[in-house]
Structure 1
Amino acid sequence: MSATRFFELPSPFVLRRGGSLAGARLAYETWGELNPAGDNAILILTGLSPSAHAAAGRDDPSPGWWEAMIGVGKAIDTRRFFVICVNSLGSCKGSTGAASPHPDDHLPYRLRFPDICLEDVAQSAQLLVAGLGIRQLKALIGPSMGGMSALAYGVMFPGQAPNMVLISTAPHSLPFATAIRSLQRECIRRDPRWLDGNYASDSWPEDGFRLARKLGMVTYRSAQEWRGRFGRKRVSQPSTQAFGREFEVEAYLDAHADRFVGSFDPNCYLYLSRAMDWFDLADHGGAVDIALAKMQVRRALVIGVPSDILFPIEQQREIAEGLRSAGGVVDFYALPSIQGHDSFLVDFERFAPPVADFLGCL
């Protein structure tokens, strides 16, 4: 049984960079109960690849991607809060994206899908929240790309998210992050089976997508973690191919690529990856600090880790200082995790307590 629900967006749904979508929808899941006043809702906006299934629930008991954070007695306590997690517009996990059927011929959009940006992700999420009868969120939570989408939400709908939790995110991509994502997109596009986005459902550009995922994994973790975790360990059965797999760290990358390929549509990956590079909070006022001041945030928790090379801790510090300068009460944590950008997905001993403390004070 699936706990996923669907919200129909207005048709046409007009996009920020031009174009529109007809019959578009968002996939989402909820936990807990909305109180009679409708003022206990927490919205979670996800990173690039997660689905709306962030945690187990009554209708779907399988573990979610943030299982350790959401539930009874956990950091995001479902006894107190009504928790909503949205699968981003443009994804392939239930929301309308490049893999969805085009309304004209019911074949996949592929590259007919219009340009999408994170402001579109934010706007669609806000329409869902309003559609659920919620006028103001108790808190808005966004890790990674979800934090960028949360910043877009805050500046586009001032005062509707007065309390924010921003995790390992940024007001814009730095050149290093853009360079990595550009290389990932090129890996996909140069696969002969990509066919200008017109690959068949049973013949994906797997080689290019595997390389893109491996390159991503190199940036999601840290050299310090891998040094302690893998060292110079060899695999028990080296590849017989010339220059094939020999070290355990190579096996680790292969395993992640194997799990990811086939679970996420390559064209959707291209669209959302580019949306991250396009996002710049400074577009909303001319400077990051001006945009942060527009958001009317009363309280914020901003968390990052110094070992993150994709979203460096300086970017979280910039957000925290900007919100503080705008009059918000801001808690900022640089957590000593060695798991890099993926820390918020694995190092719950460090990430859960500040989130629980912050939400407990609301």
Structure 2
Amino acid sequence: MTEFIPPGTRFHPLPSPFRMKRGGALHGARVAYETWGTLNERRDNAVLIVTGLSPDAHAARNAGNPDEGWWEPMVGSGKPIDTDRWFVVCVNSLGSCKGSTGPASVNPDTGALYRLDFPELSVEDGANAAFDVVRGLGIEQLACIIGNSMGGMTALAYLLLHPGAARTHINISGSAQALPFSIAIRSLQREAIRLDPHWNHGQYDDDTYPESGMRMARKLGVITYRSALEWDGRFGRVRLDSDRPDEEPFGLEFQVESYLEGHARRFVRRFDPNCYLYLSRSMDWFDLAEYAAQEPAGGDVVAGLAKIRVQRALAIGATTDILFPLQQQQQIAEGLAAGGAQADFLPLESPQGHDAFLVDYDRFGPAVRDFLASI
């Protein structure tokens, strides 16, 4: 399979071997990243962005790539993450197919793609890889680490595993552990991919790509990324053109179906199925409660969060998010406060569900801008 690497992406070599949390190690691995702004002489103005499952490192336009990034309204001169003040780094997740080493990369030990020979991947592995990138840039302590969705998990792991690595933290639509509903959805997504005959136990290529499985997985994901309120307001019960020929029984009839189909088809050939499986499962495994197992209460996620030490934190969520529901961001703020941080919880009345941080910039932009302006 092809890796999808934006122009201008830079690469950081990880130490070899790079030990993985659940066993195994990577040799000759790398992490893709991009930067914006200028690191000051004190090296204390760095902001790290860790992403959700599918984004690459190209969060916004920069000198290496003039194309619009996936978080373009948030990163840049005069924007909420202001590159006139901050030196911004965005990393592509370890295990991805967009520049960082993952199942779609070549295994140097065999000369073939890793596929399912890639070691079991955890969120903590991604956090350790991102930490190595930051240290490789000569940054001892971040001014802030910002994580959204899966990146919110990665940011918490980063802070827990590397005490003192950041002064502040913004957690956007993230969580400290996977909840049963989210696990169930991701399980169905993985099953859709694995049951596609073309997946073939991970042994597919560009000509025998498990397109149907990836389409179904992506459709299911998109349904949970937005809210019923938005689906109603955006599409209602509007039907497709009734004059079009009926190509197949039970085919697409409503505009919302056509939207999901188009969205899925744009995605499927732009992401590697095995990488999707690995990253999805890493989120299901993530649980900061395991780091509190030795506490008297044992296995409490708030106790796990309380082990993190930052000066200030902000946990933001959307009221309509069903995938990473609002109580998880509230829990993050409470747990970090229990660890001594000045931590605030900000629920935003956005109708756009989990994906609100990618589209509802009128609400999320000011929240991020105000926090960064205060540190």
> TM-score of the superposition, structure 2-length normalised?
0.95
Counterparts of 2:321 and 2:120 in 1: how far apart (Å)?
29
- Of 98, 105, 110, the residue aligned with 1:100 is 105
- Of 325, 336, 345, the residue aligned with 1:323 is 336
Q: Is the 8 A contact 2:177 2:301 kept in 1?
A: no
Q: Is the 8 A contact 1:238 1:246 kept in 2?
A: no
Counterparts of 1:238 and 1:295 in 2: how far apart (Å)?
59
DSSP 3-state at the match of 1:165:
strand
One-letter identity of the residue aligned with 1:91: S
1:156 aligns with 2:161: yes
1:282 aligns with 2:276: no
TM-superposed deviation, 1:282: 1.1
Q: Could you list the runs of 5+ residues in structure 1 that have no partner in the other structure?
A: none
Q: Is the 8 A contact 1:305 1:341 kept in 2?
A: yes
Worse-matched range after superposition: 122-131 or 287-296? 287-296
Q: Please give the residue correspondences for 1:291-330 in structure 2 after superposition, counting only pairs within 5 Å.
A: 291-330=304-343
1:265 aligns with 2:263: no
Q: Deviations over 1:229-271 (max 9, x none)?
A: 1111011246521000000000110011011010000000000
Match of 2:38 in 1: 33
Counterparts of 1:347 and 1:188 in 2: how far apart (Å)?
30
DSSP 3-state at the match of 1:142:
strand
Counterparts of 1:6 and 1:126 in 2: how far apart (Å)?
14
Worse-matched range after superposition: 102-111 or 66-75? 102-111
Counterparts of 2:83 and 2:23 in 1: how far apart (Å)?
39
Match of 1:252 in 2: 259
Match of 2:347 in 1: 334
Counterparts of 1:146 and 1:155 in 2: how far apart (Å)?
14
One-letter identity of the residue aligned with 2:39: L
One-letter identity of the residue aligned with 1:255: G
DSSP 3-state at the match of 1:138:
strand
Match of 2:68 in 1: 63
Counterparts of 1:4 and 1:221 in 2: how far apart (Å)?
30
1:344 aligns with 2:350: no
Q: Is the 8 A contact 2:306 2:337 kept in 1?
A: no
Worse-matched range after superposition: 243-252 or 287-296? 287-296
Match of 2:146 in 1: 141
Match of 2:221 in 1: 216
Q: Is the 8 A contact 1:15 1:120 kept in 2?
A: yes
Counterparts of 2:161 and 2:109 in 1: how far apart (Å)?
31
One-letter identity of the residue aligned with 1:301: L
Match of 1:118 in 2: 123
DSSP 3-state at the match of 1:359:
helix
1:121–1:253 distance in 2 versus 1, CA, 3 Å: same
Q: Could you list the runs of 5+ residues in structure 2 that have no partner in the other structure?
A: 1-5, 294-299
- Of 348, 352, 355, the residue aligned with 2:368 is 355
DSSP 3-state at the match of 1:177:
helix
One-letter identity of the residue aligned with 1:267: N
Counterparts of 1:361 and 1:41 in 2: how far apart (Å)?
15
TM-superposed deviation, 1:289: 2.1
TM-superposed deviation, 1:291: 2.2
One-letter identity of the residue aligned with 2:344: D
Q: Is the 8 A contact 1:239 1:246 kept in 2?
A: no
> TM-score of the superposition, structure 1-length normalised?
0.98
Q: Is the 8 A contact 1:142 1:165 kept in 2?
A: yes
Counterparts of 2:345 and 2:292 in 1: how far apart (Å)?
24
One-letter identity of the residue aligned with 1:318: Q
One-letter identity of the residue aligned with 1:125: A
TM-superposed deviation, 1:161: 1.5
Q: Deviations over 1:137-180 (max 9, x none)?
A: 00000000000000100110112112000000111111000000
Q: Is the 8 A contact 1:176 1:310 kept in 2?
A: yes
Match of 1:109 in 2: 114
Counterparts of 2:225 and 2:7 in 1: how far apart (Å)?
29
